[in-house]
Amino acid sequence: MTTTACFIIVSRNDIPIYEAEVGSAAKREDAAQLHQFILHAALDIVQDLAWTTSAMFLKAIDRFNDLVVSVYVTAGHTRFMLLHDSRNDDGIKSFFQEVHELYIKILLNPLYLPGSRITSSHFDTKVRALARKYL
């Protein structure tokens, strides 16, 4: 079953620090830009919602046609956003939690400036592997 999924990590200052198309469907050039546009438009909703709850996983917060945006907010207000067409809530939650651990390990690097782009190829490999496993 092919799934579309676009994963973005947005820092506290609303700057994307990591993006990846992790769906198993064939990648189309215009689809990637549309996905990023939808995710950025959902940022406003996340901002309001983040202050109403102390949980980190804010399920599905926005929809576009048949694509759903799910968001996970960390303690430092870094947002993990996933645009997808599946309904697998538990899988998505586990995916977010695993990526959160990876993100903390990157953050603990004293030479990493918080809020800057994540350029590690190993991180990229691991995120894609997690996406294949959970999504």
Task: Write out the residues near other proteins by the rule CB under 8 A.
Answer: 12, 50-56, 73-78, 97, 100-110, 114, 120, 122-123, 126
Torsion of CA 20, 69, 5, 54, to 10 degrees: 60
Nearer to other proteins (CB atom), residue 37 or residue 76: 76
Nearest distance in Å: CB 56, other proteins: 5
Distances in Å between the Cα of 94 and the Cα atoms of 66, 83, 101 are 22, 15, 11
Nearer to other proteins (CB atom), residue 2 or residue 109: 109
Nearer to other proteins (CB atom), residue 34 or residue 43: 43
Nearest distance in Å: CB 109, other proteins: 7
Nearest distance in Å: CB 43, other proteins: 15
The CA distance from 60 to 70, in Å, is 4
4: which residues sit within 8 A by CB, 6+ positions away? 23, 25, 31, 35, 67, 83, 84, 85
